[in-house]
């Protein structure tokens, strides 16, 4: 990260916007308790509106803009991925399940053998 980017990320406007975001979150918490007699659906709509406002404000900061660009680039990369077909997914899942069962049986066998060995050494039969 170069020094220019570091200076911009600490701009007074960014600090002010993050303080506004923090104040709105605190105000939302207080309002949620104050309006606790209202139905949950009404309060939930209020939280959704507040969240949209908070995201809008946060996207105005340098960190928000950088994060948004990262999200857009990640979506572009996701579109480039070759996803497995349904048949490949089912076959891979079956192989994983089979391996889990095999390893479970092996561990069960080792555990039973050790239990038998300890029982024989201590004189307990089980």
Give yes or no for a contact between 20 and 57, defined as CB atoms under 8 angstroms apart: yes
Q: What are the φ/ψ torsions at residue 2 (nearest 5 degrees)?
A: -80, 170
Give yes or no for a contact between 60 and 21, defined as CB atoms under 8 angstroms apart: no
Angle subtended at Cα 76 by Cα 75 and Cα 82, rounded to the nearest 5 degrees: 95
Per-residue model confidence (pLDDT) at position 4: 53
9, 25, 32, 68 from 44: Cα distances, Å: 32, 14, 9, 25
Per-residue model confidence (pLDDT) at position 102: 98
Per-residue model confidence (pLDDT) at position 9: 54
pTM: 0.54
Give yes or no for a contact between 61 and 8, defined as CB atoms under 8 angstroms apart: no
Q: In a structure prediction context, what are the per-residue pLDDT tens digits for the chain, which is 126 residues long?
A: 454 554 455 788 889 999 999 999 999 999 999 998 999 999 999 999 999 999 999 999 999 999 999 999 999 999 999 989 999 999 999 999 999 999 999 999 999 999 999 999 998 765
């Amino acid at each position: 990260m170069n020094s220019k980017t570091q200076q911009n990320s600490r701009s007074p406007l960014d600090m002010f916007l993050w303080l506004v975001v923090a104040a709105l979150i605190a105000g939302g918490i207080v309002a949620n308790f104050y309006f606790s007699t209202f139905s949950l659906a009404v309060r939930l709509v209020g939280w959704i509106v507040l969240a949209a406002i908070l995201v809008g404000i946060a996207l105005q900061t340098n960190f928000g803009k950088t994060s948004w660009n990262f999200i857009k680039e990640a979506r572009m990369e996701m579109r480039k991925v070759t996803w497995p077909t349904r048949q490949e997914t089912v076959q891979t899942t079956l192989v994983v399940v089979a391996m889990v069962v095999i390893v479970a049986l092996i561990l069960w066998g080792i555990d039973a053998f050790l239990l038998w060995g300890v029982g024989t050494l201590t004189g307990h039969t089980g």
